[in-house]
Amino acid sequence: MNPNGAIIVQSNLEIMVEVDNPNYPTARDAIAPFTELVKSPEHLHTYKISHLSLWNAAATGLRAPEVLERLESQSRYPIPPTVVTEIEDYMARYGLLRLRKEGNRLLMESDDKIMFVEICKLKDVEPFIVEFIDDTHAVVDPERRGHLKMTLTNAGFPVEDLAGYTVGDPLPIQLRETTVSGKPFNLRDYQKDAAQVFYASGSEKGGSGVIVLPCGSGKTVIGLATMALIQTKTLILTPNISASRQWIREICDKTTLTLDQVKEYSGEVKEIGPVTVATYQILTQRKRAKKSDDEKDIKEPEMSPEEVKKELANFPLFSQQKWGLMIYDEVHLLPAPVFRLSTEMQATRRLGLTATLVREDHKETEVFSLIGPKKFDIPWRILEAQGWIASADCNEIRIPMEPELKMKYALAPVRDKITLASTNPEKTDIVERLLKYFSKPDDRVLIIGQYIDQLEALSEDLQIPLITGKTPNKDREKLYASFRSGELKNLMVSKVGNFAIDLPDANVLIQISGTFGSRQEEAQRLGRVLRPKSDGGAAHFYSIVTQDSKEQEFAMNRQLFLTEQGYAYKIIKRGDWDILARTPEELAARA
């Protein structure tokens, strides 16, 4: 107990954190590894301890005594006994069940005889048991390893998978000391640590899991470092073609692999090599109905694993190659069919990369069970302090509705209110103000939104090029290249810009609309401008929101993950808009 503590732990597993307390940053960082942010009004933030957050913490090596010590050192009042019991009980469950290989057999085992028998007799678990060896060991179906892991996690007993992995085809690969483009190349300490934690010296304790690091911190490089450690044939899955080609450029620039060894498998090119980079969408493509290869997350009806394999046209890419490593880029975007396919790939090493494990469809449990637990993460603010990502200021600009729109909004059905608020015409004026303010020669401004009609109108009004899902990939690459070179200062993108585009000199992002209350989208969008700037300058994030509307309500939820990382949003209302207006003299001074 600490009289100056910044947190209050409640018996319902919620933690109140006092933002104005001098110890707030220390307390926030102490509890972050085993909690989730629930809400973040001005003075008191609410965090929640969940079973999944405790299991993820346990998978990183954190144990109940250390979790309790952190809570006690930061808490103003004693920890409720029920919370102590819950933390001890649920963290102890991780590793209580283990999967191991014995010859060709897959065994499930435990040191707790009574608990083991009880779990094996559960209705959902029984079908996976082939035979009992004794009261603490059972043979389970190796073909259903992933399904068993999911079932046990849902039953509240996550199994530690120590069954090891098949050896993929060998692939010699080394990291370069100097890139092909002539720049010195060395792994940062945290990148080395992340790759080593995942690899675990090649033991069965490593080989599956998720690395969580902010955009701009070099998650792709961690993937390359992992490939160099494992030295095997690798399949890399990405959200879209732009991301795939970015991976191919990075592999050829920073490793000894050549373009002949690194192939693209997408809607445009279907080649397989020792390293193959494929899109999630091509893997979810049906035999009977082709899907477009863009950024959309495809919704699929429930099917059995056998039906999935028969129905998906490109499943042989998974099954007919001897991959030793699979890398899931932006794992938080993983479509449902790829989850199902991943249940079949449990004997292959699996690395997930993401800036946030938050999923709006609440499938974090599937990521934990099928890709692996969180293995490594670092708070964004720590990397910012070390200079590995740019410092950033976050702003929410609230604009009113004009009387005519206000009446239309009041009479609209609920489903139309968010569209009316998000496409408020008054947003154009704010974008123009921001473009005038950020008009220095080195400024690079990205404008991003959800609604295509809104973006097309704004693009025409401001004469700024627009990239959407329909923009041919060749045209996208040209526009991205012009933006990188400085030939193009301002660029507008739809949600294709949410992830995996490498625009290191973008220093301003203006968000004119978003996908409802998506926390991961907000994090991804800020990430577009977090790469360190060549001049050491800061990044600026502006979210334009219609005041007193559904959009404002959603904005509060969108900001939760970034608030958890230590970012504070400055609210700018109409009376404060003058800070965005600059006289010609002031603009000249900024230039």
For 440, the 3-state DSSP assignment is coil
Shared domain for 423 and 540, answered yes or no, is: yes
Q: Give pLDDT tens digits for 402-420.
A: 999 999 999 999 889 999 9
Q: What is the tally of structural domains in the chain?
A: 4
Q: Give pLDDT tens digits for 468-517.
A: 989 998 898 899 889 988 899 999 999 887 765 667 678 999 999 998 88
Q: Which of 161, 178, 201 is the last residue of a domain?
A: 161
Shared domain for 432 and 305, answered yes or no, is: no
Shared domain for 194 and 155, answered yes or no, is: no
Shared domain for 101 and 129, answered yes or no, is: yes
Q: Indicate the pTM of the whole model.
A: 0.85
Instruction: Please tell me the predicted confidence (pLDDT) of residue 157.
Output: 94
Shared domain for 356 and 467, answered yes or no, is: no
Q: Is residue 169 part of a domain?
A: no
Q: What is the DSSP string of 445-466?
A: EEEE-S-HHHHHHHHHHHT--E
Q: Which of 39, 60, 93 is the last residue of a domain?
A: 93
Instruction: Please tell me the predicted confidence (pLDDT) of residue 303.
Output: 55
Range in 37-51, 126-140, 383-397, 573-587 with the lowest mean pLDDT: 573-587
Q: Is residue 11 part of a domain?
A: yes
- Average pLDDT of the residues of the chain: 88
Shared domain for 448 and 484, answered yes or no, is: yes
Q: How far apart are alpha carbons 43 and 247 in whole angstroms?
A: 42
Domain that holds residue 88: 7-93
Reply yes or no on whether the pLDDT at 294 is more than 80.
Answer: no
Higher pLDDT: 531 or 79? It is 79
Shared domain for 506 and 521, answered yes or no, is: yes
Higher pLDDT: 556 or 172? It is 172
Shared domain for 216 and 86, answered yes or no, is: no
Answer for the pair 135, 124: CB distance below 8 angstroms, yes or no: no
Percent of the chain with pLDDT over 90: 61
Instruction: Please tell me the predicted confidence (pLDDT) of residue 584.
Output: 53
Q: Is residue 175 part of a domain?
A: no
Average pLDDT of span 545-564: 90
Instruction: Please tell me the predicted confidence (pLDDT) of residue 291.
Output: 46
Higher pLDDT: 140 or 285? It is 140
Q: Give ∠ CA 449-331-554 in degrees, rounded to 5.
A: 35
Q: Give pLDDT tens digits for 239-293.
A: 888 889 999 999 999 999 999 999 999 888 889 999 999 988 887 777 655 444 4
Q: What is the DSSP string of 85-146?
A: HHHHHHHHHTTTEEEEEETTEEEEEES-HHHHHHHHTSTTTGGGEEEEEETTEEEE-GGGHH
pLDDT band of residue 531 (cuts 50, 70, 90) is confident
The conformation of residue 294, written as its DSSP 8-state character, comes to: S
Q: Is residue 170 part of a domain?
A: no
Q: Give pLDDT tens digits for 310-348.
A: 666 676 676 778 999 999 998 887 877 777 777 778 889
Q: Give pLDDT tens digits for 15-65.
A: 999 989 999 989 998 998 999 888 777 788 899 999 999 999 999 889 999
Instruction: Please tell me the predicted confidence (pLDDT) of residue 259.
Output: 94
Shared domain for 276 and 327, answered yes or no, is: yes
Q: Is residue 394 part of a domain?
A: yes
Q: Is residue 447 part of a domain?
A: yes
Shared domain for 71 and 110, answered yes or no, is: no
For 205, the 3-state DSSP assignment is coil
Percent of the chain with pLDDT over 70: 91
Reply yes or no on whether the pLDDT at 74 is more than 80.
Answer: yes
Domain harbouring 472, CATH code: 3.40.50.300
pLDDT band of residue 308 (cuts 50, 70, 90) is low
Reply yes or no on whether the pLDDT at 582 is more than 70.
Answer: no
Shared domain for 351 and 417, answered yes or no, is: no
Q: Which of 93, 113, 146 is the last residue of a domain?
A: 93
Write phi, then psi, for 475 (nearest 5 degrees): -70, -35
Domain harbouring 156, CATH code: 3.30.70
Instruction: Please tell me the predicted confidence (pLDDT) of residue 86.
Output: 96
Q: Is residue 181 part of a domain?
A: no
Reply yes or no on whether the pLDDT at 302 is more than 60.
Answer: no
Q: Is residue 178 part of a domain?
A: no
Shared domain for 261 and 345, answered yes or no, is: yes
Average pLDDT of span 154-167: 92
